[in-house]
Amino acid sequence: MSGPTHKKRGATMQRSDQLHAHGGIYSARLGQWGEHLNTTPRRVVDAIRRLGLTPWVDSARAKTRGDPRPRDPQLRCIALSTEQKQTLESHFSSNSTHL
């Protein structure tokens, strides 16, 4: 993978800072979301809940088998739609107390 975009099975994937975008879905580890939004991973999770956003993927969400799920921000992955990402960015850009 080189540069801001790369090809994977015929589809273009783009990187936005440390977020990966593909088909209108942005994904990254929770720590990367925190860096992107200039806040802590804990505040990202709190904002997602407070704003009523349901991530497309949250690797901390329990699976049916009950296997332990990653909670560490360096392992936990979250994927949001473009609209959800913009909502989250707007929340943190208008909320100066997020640091």
Residues 81-94 pLDDT 10s: 999 999 999 999 98
> How would you class 26 by CB atoms within 10 Å of its CB: exposed for 0-12, middle for 13-18, buried for 19 or more?
buried
Mean pLDDT of the chain: 78
E-strand stretches of the chain: 5-8, 11-16, 19-22, 25-29, 57-58, 77-81
Domain extents in the chain: 13-62+70-94
Can you give the pTM of this predicted structure? 0.71
Averaged pLDDT for residues 41-64 = 87
Q: Which pLDDT does position 69 carry in this prediction?
A: 67
